[in-house]
């Protein structure tokens, strides 16, 4: 099989969660490189991900190419060169050239080589295709007991509902054989609207909220909603705690203890790393069903905040907390709530193609389609009736409501630039920061 045939066969295959199918995908991908080494254009997050995939299937990478080659070089065990390196590179037949960048940059790269009169054939590995490969690897690892939930933090699939991660969550609580009555793969629990940073493009719209809707959610309310949802679904694979800054919550330890008693497999906590957790919180965090993701907002952190982040890491190490320090990466700006003119068909297409369409939010007993839906509702752009008031139903009724809720595109999409029109912006640009380009 060659790469073009592989792409044609698998580009729309989605998440692979069946072991035999996963093995076939990986074997066929490996067969595309017989006798050849790979060259990856793009040494950013996508390039790293492709490099990891190739390493896993034992395909050798000769080198990478990137405009920021000096900066990116330290992330790889093979050389990273400037794009021009290819112009003087004699090899060809024994190299398979892969493009691991976003679609927009892929076009620019192809045009650039044409301008240089360098007729190279670069094969674009779309994110969709990478997801097929990544999920196949995770499926194999899960079956072999080698699965690492930390890998999910930087994997874009998780906000789209990854069946493999979901199954891992069920395994964590010995519920792998439970058949759900309704399914929620991705649920972000809003812990409050208090944060130490003010990121203009915050997913959760935080700095744009009115003062009247800032505070912390009560432990009892969070747990009552989660209990009802788990009763409706039978089991929930994983949830994430988001905010605001979850480590500012006055009873984070109590919330976590309560969650660990529910039929919820795995808990991710997203923090900006500026708040040092208490001893009590660290003790609860040291649980194999919990992992913390520290977002890397180095660029905007004050010296005090940087110190706090180091202290946080020290404490996590001391207590054996599972955590990951993220990489600095671009954000997509979908903070606008301007109405979009589109047909129902375009609306559905937008929703189905959005990488956040299963990234639900739970806030004050209501379920929202995604963070944009939650933020837009709290800010008054979207009718509150478009979210689900879960406590209006008993568990059985709620299971039916949840199924219907997920069949329809989210109303908020009609006021959202994701996924086709949201521009890339620098990460964590603060309110008042002049340059937001
Ligand atoms: S979300 Fe996790 S389980 Fe799913 S493919 Fe990504 S890393 Fe693997
Ligand atoms: S509103 Fe729609 S398009 Fe926007 S992030 Fe949510 S699911 Fe995606």
Q: What is the pLDDT of residue 79?
A: 94
Q: Across residues 371-388, what is the average pLDDT?
A: 95
pLDDT in tens, 352-373: 989 888 899 999 999 999 999 9
Q: Across residues 236-244, what is the average pLDDT?
A: 93
Per-position b or e across 14-52, b if 16+ CB within 10 A of its CB:
ebbbeeeebeebbeebeebbeebbbbbbbbbbbbbbbbe
pTM of the entire structure?
A: 0.88
* Residue range(s) of every CATH 3.40.50.20 domain in the chain: 3-131
Element (H, E) at 227: helix 219-233
Cis peptide before 274 (omega within 30 of 0): no
Q: Across residues 96-122, what is the average pLDDT?
A: 89
DSSP 200: T
Interval between CA 407 and ligand 2 midpoint (Å): 14
pLDDT band, very low/low/confident/very high, at 437 (cuts 50, 70, 90): very low
Interval between CA 370 and ligand 2 midpoint (Å): 6
- Provide the percentage of residues in the chain whose pLDDT is more than 90: 77
Higher pLDDT, 258 or 436: 258
Pocket-forming residues, ligand 1, beta carbon under 6 Å: 134-135, 138, 151-152, 155, 157-158, 162, 164-165
Integer CA distances (angstroms), 75 to 41, 78, 390, in order: 14, 9, 45
pLDDT band, very low/low/confident/very high, at 89 (cuts 50, 70, 90): confident
- The response to whether residue 382 sits with its C-beta less than 6 Å from ligand 2 reads no
**Which residue has 């037949």 as its token pair?**
93
Radius of gyration in angstroms for the set of CA atoms belonging to the chain, rounded to a whole number: 22
pLDDT band, very low/low/confident/very high, at 407 (cuts 50, 70, 90): confident
Using the atom order of ligand 1, give the atom closest to the CA of residue 147: 3
CATH number of 3-131: 3.40.50.20
Integer CA distances (angstroms), 96 to 11, 87, 115, 382, 393, in order: 18, 15, 21, 48, 56
Q: Encoding tokens for residue 407?
A: 């069949």
**Which among 22, 151, 160 is the best mutation to test ligand 1's pocket, defined by most ligand atoms within 8 Å of the CB?**
151
Integer CA distances (angstroms), 242 to 120, 385, 404, in order: 45, 23, 25
Q: What is the pLDDT of residue 253?
A: 98
Q: What is the pLDDT of residue 435?
A: 53
The beta-strand segments (E) located in 42-192 are 61-65, 80-81, 95-99, 122-124, 187-190
As beta bridge partners, residue 12 has none
- Provide the percentage of residues in the chain whose pLDDT is more than 70: 98
Q: What is the pLDDT of residue 186?
A: 80
pLDDT in tens, 156-215: 787 778 999 999 999 999 999 999 999 998 899 999 999 999 999 998 988 898 877 789
What average pLDDT does the structure give for the chain?
Answer: 92
Q: What is the pLDDT of residue 406?
A: 85
**Residue with CA closest to ligand 1 atom 2:** 152
Interval between CA 114 and ligand 2 midpoint (Å): 36
pLDDT in tens, 315-348: 999 999 999 998 877 888 999 999 999 999 999 9
Q: What is the pLDDT of residue 91?
A: 54
Q: Across residues 276-303, what is the average pLDDT?
A: 96
Exposed, middle or buried by CB within 10 Å (0-12, 13-18, 19+), for 339?
exposed
Q: What is the pLDDT of residue 309?
A: 97
Q: Which residues contact 318 (CB under 8 A, 6 or more apart)?
A: 282
pLDDT in tens, 218-235: 999 999 999 999 999 999
* Residue range(s) of every CATH 3.20.20 domain in the chain: 148-425
Contact between residue 255 and residue 222 where contact means Cβ atoms under 8 Å apart: yes
Q: Are strands 95-99 and 37-41 parallel, antiparallel or unpaired?
A: parallel
pLDDT in tens, 110-159: 999 989 888 788 899 998 899 999 999 999 999 999 999 999 988 878 77
**Which among 142, 152, 159, 326 is the best mutation to test ligand 1's pocket, defined by most ligand atoms within 8 Å of the CB?**
152
Q: What is the pLDDT of residue 36?
A: 93
Q: Tell me how far apart the 2 most distant CA atoms of the chain are, in Å.
A: 69
Integer CA distances (angstroms), 301 to 101, 197, 315, 411, in order: 28, 9, 19, 35
φ, ψ of residue 63 in degrees (nearest 5): -170, 170
pLDDT band, very low/low/confident/very high, at 436 (cuts 50, 70, 90): very low
**Range 148-425 classified under CATH 3.30.460:** no
Contact between residue 208 and residue 245 where contact means Cβ atoms under 8 Å apart: no
Interval between CA 422 and ligand 2 midpoint (Å): 11
Contact between residue 390 and residue 365 where contact means Cβ atoms under 8 Å apart: yes
Q: Whose CA is closest to 242, among 213, 278, 208, 203?
A: 203
Q: Residue 272: is its pLDDT beyond 50?
A: yes
Using CA atoms, how far apart are residues 151 and 314, in angstroms rounded to an integer? Answer: 21
Q: Across residues 60-76, what is the average pLDDT?
A: 88
- What is the length of the chain? 437
Contact between residue 119 and residue 61 where contact means Cβ atoms under 8 Å apart: no
Using CA atoms, how far apart are residues 295 and 156, in angstroms rounded to an integer? Answer: 15
Q: What is the pLDDT of residue 434?
A: 58
Q: What is the pLDDT of residue 74?
A: 78
């Amino acid at each position: 099989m060659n790469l073009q045939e592989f792409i044609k066969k698998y580009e729309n295959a989605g998440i692979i969660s069946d072991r035999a199918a996963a093995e076939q995908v990986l074997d066929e991908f490996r067969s595309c490189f017989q006798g050849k080494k790979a060259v990856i254009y793009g040494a950013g997050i996508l390039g790293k991900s492709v490099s990891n995939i190739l390493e896993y299937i034992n395909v050798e990478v000769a080198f990478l190419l990137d405009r920021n080659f000096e900066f990116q070089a330290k992330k790889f065990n093979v050389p990273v060169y400037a794009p021009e390196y290819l112009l003087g590179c004699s090899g060809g037949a024994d190299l398979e050239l892969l493009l691991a960048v976003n679609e927009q940059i892929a076009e620019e790269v192809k045009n650039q080589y044409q301008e240089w009169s360098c007729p190279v054939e670069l094969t674009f590995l779309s994110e969709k295709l990478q997801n097929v490969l990544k999920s196949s690897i995770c499926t194999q690892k899960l079956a072999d007991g080698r699965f690492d939930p930390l890998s999910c933090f930087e994997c874009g699939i998780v906000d789209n509902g990854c069946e493999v991660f979901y199954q891992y969550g069920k395994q964590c609580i010995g519920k792998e054989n439970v058949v759900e009555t309704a399914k929620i793969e991705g649920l972000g629990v809003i812990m409050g609207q208090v944060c130490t940073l003010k990121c203009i493009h915050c997913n959760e719209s935080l700095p744009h909220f009115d003062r009247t809707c800032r505070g912390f959610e009560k432990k009892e309310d969070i747990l009552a909603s989660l209990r009802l949802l788990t009763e409706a679904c039978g089991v929930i694979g994983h949830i994430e705690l988001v905010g605001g800054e979850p480590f500012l919550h006055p009873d984070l330890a109590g919330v976590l203890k309560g969650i660990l008693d529910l039929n919820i497999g795995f808990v991710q906590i997203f923090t900006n790393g500026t708040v040092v957790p208490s001893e009590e919180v660290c003790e609860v965090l040291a649980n194999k069903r919990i992992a913390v993701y520290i977002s890397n907002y180095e660029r905007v952190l004050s010296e005090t905040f940087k110190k706090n982040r180091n202290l946080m890491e020290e404490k996590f190490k001391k207590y054996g907390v599972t955590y990951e320090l993220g990489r600095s990466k671009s954000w997509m700006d979908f903070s606008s709530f301007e109405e979009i003119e589109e047909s129902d068909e375009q609306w559905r297409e937008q929703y189905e193609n959005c990488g956040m369409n299963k990234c639900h939010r739970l806030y004050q007993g209501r379920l929202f389609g995604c963070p944009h839906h939650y933020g837009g509702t709290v800010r008054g752009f979207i009718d509150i009736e478009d979210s689900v008031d879960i406590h209006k139903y008993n568990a059985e009724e709620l299971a039916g409501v949840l199924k219907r809720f997920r069949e329809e595109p989210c109303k908020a999409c009609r006021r959202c630039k994701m996924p086709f029109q949201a521009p890339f912006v620098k990460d964590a640009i603060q309110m008042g920061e002049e340059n937001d380009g």
